[in-house]
Amino acid sequence: MQTKPFRIGTRGSPLALAQAHETRDRLMAAHALPQEMFEIVVMSTAGDRITDRALSEIGGKGLFTQELEDKLLSGDLDFAVHSSKDMPTRLPDGLVLSAYLPREDVRDAFIGRAAPTLMELPHGAVIGSSSLRRQALIRSLRPDIEVITYRGLVDTRLRKLAEGQVDATLLAYAGLRRLGKADVVTELLDPERFPPAPAQGAICIESRIDNAAVNDLLAAINHADTFAAVSCERAFLAALDGSCRTPIAGLARTEAGRIIFSGMILTPDGAKTHRVNQDGTADDAALIGAAAGEKIRAEAGTAFFDSWA
The closest alpha carbon to 248, from 198, 184, 188, 302, belongs to 198
Q: If DSSP codes are grouped into helix, strand and coil, which group holds residue 138?
A: helix
Q: Which residues, including other chains, have CB under 8 Å from residue 267's CB and lie 6 or more apart? A: 136, 247, 273, 304, 307, 308
Exactly one of 78, 86, 167, 225 is catalytic; name it. 86
CB-neighbour burial class of residue 302 (10 A; exposed 0-12, middle 13-18, buried 19+): exposed
Q: What is the DSSP string of 213-247?
A: HHHHHHHTT--HHHHHHHHHHHHHHHHTT-STTS-
Please state, as a whole number, how many other Cβ atoms lie within 10 Å of the Cβ of residue 123.
7
The verdict on whether 269 is a catalytic residue reads no
Three-state DSSP at 125 gives coil
Query: Catalytic residue positions?
Result: 86
